[in-house]
Structure 1
Amino acid sequence: MRAVVTKEAGGPEVLTVEEVETPTPRRGQLLIEVVAAGVNRADVLQRQGHYPPPPGESPIIGLEVAGHVAAVGEDVTGWSVGDPCVALLAGGGYAEFVVVDAGQVAPPPDGVDLVEAAGIMEVAATVVSNMDVVGLQPGETLLVHGGTGGIGMFAIQYAKALGCRVATTAGSPEKLALCRELGADIALDYHDDWVAELKEATDGHGADVILDIMGAKYLGSNVRSLARLGRLVIIGMQGGVKGELNINALLTKSATVTATSLRFRPVPEKAAIVARVASQIWPLIASGDIRTAHQTRFPLAEVRAAHEQLTGGSNIGKIVLTF
């Protein structure tokens, strides 16, 4: 099968398409013939050598795919060869075939074709699971950074569906307008003093919950932006891995800072998240209450260009590789 191989860490130039052995499903697994694979920030980190896969998982990059069941492992029920599906992976997505535990596989949302569906599972699972971790409640204010990325676009709409007030950051008037179109109540230009502007827009309250993709760069600003009993959940490291934490600022607000990685959760946890996404999020997509993100599509052979697009700063929505 064709797959994207990285023999060393580095820039997009280390990504090459080569022939590798097709995997075989073990007990409890499915083999999926991939139609399209989502491209995510975590993929860039893995390419750079900063985010290796969990032990025993495929070294091939890729955390989500859509395709058809190609083979069914022992003790798997409910799936047949040829069934359309989407899957949440710990690795292996940039390939024509991938194996995954059956619990991490779901049918695609009604009315969504497989290429479009390839860019949904990872963002949906990430947002839903993290909002569960921090207990986002109706009426609370959520601040999500990167409002026009895949995570941001989904989080805005999901929080609105929950009955929350949503604030978001983005870097241009066009992107801020898109955030408002998606339902954001407060759209902040991250080139400005967004901490002060958030406080003003919320009458001094701040954010009850912050979903952060930046990491170290925004740590101090995020803590200052939290409301009393606020919760900051860090899911990305685009702004670095080491920051300075003002513990007194947390103490005075009785606030919480946590960080999670969906990739390293145990299989049963990921299976439960996938099931929750399929049962609660797919109907919202089918009804139009949550719109899927705009996609930029690249054929597998142009995987380097896909990574350049993601890191270039101008991308809106999701990037997918097509097979």
Structure 2
Amino acid sequence: MRAAVCVKAGGPEVLEIRELPVPAVREGWSLVQVKGTGLNRSELRTRQGHSPNVTFPRVLGIECVGIVAASTDPALPDGTTVAAVMGEMGREFDGGYAEYALLPNALLMPITTTLPWDVLAALPETYLTARGSLDALGVVAGGQGRLLIRGGTSSVGMAAASIAAGYGVETAATTRRPGKVGALTGAGVDHVLVDAGGSLAASVHAVWPEGPDHVLDLVGARTAVDSLHLVRRGGTVCVSGSLSGWAIPDFEPIAMVPSGTKLTAFHSDDFKGSAGATVLQRIVHEVEAGVYRPNVDRVFGLDDIVAAHRYMENDQATGKVVVVP
């Protein structure tokens, strides 16, 4: 089989297309013929050498969709359409950047769908993270509350905007690139804020003088403290992204978290396997019905994985980048 192998830590050029043996099934693991995989910035950082306990060479990819080719689980017979996310895919064991992936049965989510593979591949990690983050914030259908999405043109940001619009929630979102404003309004964002790299206080308070009720921070470490001071007193900030890295340097909770304001997080491992199957199936049905937009920015072939990583690393995408074998 063909696979994109990260041979060492470095730039996009360390991803090489190689011929590898198709993995043999073993107890508790099934073979999946990969039909598509969404790219994620965590894979970029793994490629750069920033993920702990990752040894090279490694086939990256923390998610994929495909068909069960050789099953060891009677509940997942051969031919079942499945999705898989996280669970150390592409880190402790080879992931989705290949024609086949050997995956733990506990990660596999059976899906019924009429969506094309590239659209289905854009959904699992992105929409599960967006849905889980909005749940963590307490954003529900009915239009209650005001939501600010930082990192709005990321794939999760676009998905969260689409879900929030479906909920009827008033939403603002940030982008660093004025040329992406139209994509955000098209996703249902009511107020687009161009982030010049400093505090957003003036822009946010011009829209909502008391601040938003909820902030979904997908930029992460660099902006989390600022977000805590943007949300209204007693509001909630959820950090679900790491566009600016993993850790908040010199974090002092008592000094940095305003009294009564809440800081939470969401990790998509919460929705892996059976825990996410029902949620993902509902998302798939809602995309099929036109309630949500899949927000596919661009589809690359596996042979173009270097170009795909470079495209992602240069922040050229507005929404999800997908690779198909």
TM-score, normalization: structure 1?
0.87
Contact 1:2/1:17 (<8 A) preserved: yes
**Match runs of 1:257-296 below 5 Å:** 257-263=263-269, 270-296=272-298
Distance 2:123 2:66 in 1: 13
1:222 to 205, 224, 227: 227
Cα displacement string for residues 199-225 of structure 1 (whole angstroms, at most 9, x for unaligned residues): 221132x22222222222212321111
Matched with 2:203 is 197
Asked if residue 117 in structure 1 is aligned to residue 85 in structure 2, the reply is no
CA distance in 2, matches of 1:52, 1:276: 31
1:187 aligns with 2:186: no
Distance change >3 Å, CA 136–CA 27, structure 1 → 2? farther
Offset of residue 13 of structure 1: 1.4
- In the other structure, the counterpart of 2:71 is 72
Code of the aligned partner of 2:97: Y
Q: For 1:109 and 1:172, how far apart are their aligned partners in 2? A: 37
Unaligned runs of 5+ in 1: none
Equivalent in 251, 257, 269 of residue 250 of structure 1: 257
> Cα deviation per residue 1:69-92 (whole Å; 9 max; x = unaligned)?
10111x431x33223333224321
Aligned to 1:62: 61
Partner of 2:148: 143
Alignment match, 2:13: 13
In structure 2, relative to structure 1, the CA distance for the partners of 1:53 and 1:155 (3 Å cut) is: farther
Structure 2 counterpart SS, 1:292:
coil
Mapping 1:43-58, distance limit 5 Å: 43-52=43-52
Q: Pick the aligned partner of 2:83 from 79, 82, 86.
A: 86
Counting matched residue pairs gives 313
Q: Deviations over 1:217-266 (max 9, x none)?
A: 212321111122222222232223333546345243x1122344324x5x
- Residue 309 of structure 2 corresponds to residue 307 of structure 1: yes
1:129 aligns with one of 127, 132, 135:
132
Q: How many angstroms does 1:109 deviate by?
A: 6.1
Answer yes or no: is the 8 Å Cα contact 2:124–2:280 preserved in 1: no
- Which residue of 274, 292, 299 maps to 1:297? 299
Name whichever of 236-245 and 185-194 sits farther off.
236-245
What amino acid sits opposite 2:209 in the alignment? D
- Distance in 2, matches of 1:109 and 1:150, equals 23
Q: Which amino acid aligns with 2:248?
A: K
1:22 is aligned to 2:22? yes
Task: Work out the CA distance in 1 between the residues paired with 2:122 and 2:15.
Answer: 20
Contact 2:228–2:258, Cα closer than 8 Å, also in 1 = no
Contact 2:5–2:59 under 8 Å retained in 1: yes
Name 1:316's counterpart in structure 2: 318
Aligned-residue Cα RMSD (Å) equals: 2.5
TM-score normalised by the chain length of structure 2: 0.87
Tell me the distance in 1 between the aligned counterparts of 2:53 and 2:175.
30
Which residue type is aligned with residue 286 of structure 2?
L
Checking the alignment, whether the CA contact within 8 Å between 2:123 and 2:294 is kept in structure 1 is: yes
> What is the alpha-carbon distance in structure 2 between the residues aligned to residue 151 and residue 117 of structure 1?
15
Deviation at 1:291, TM superposition (A): 0.8
Deviation at 1:316, TM superposition (A): 1.6
Question: What amino acid maps onto 2:74 in structure 1?
Answer: V
Q: Secondary structure at the match of 2:233?
A: strand
Q: Would the aligned equivalents of 1:219 and 1:245 in 2 still touch at CA under 8 Å?
A: no
- Contact 2:64–2:84 (8 Å) recurs in 1: yes
SS at match of 2:32: strand
CA deviation after TM superposition for structure 1 residue 47, in Å:
0.4
SS for the counterpart of 2:22 is coil
How far apart in 1 are the matches of 2:111 and 2:240?
Answer: 25
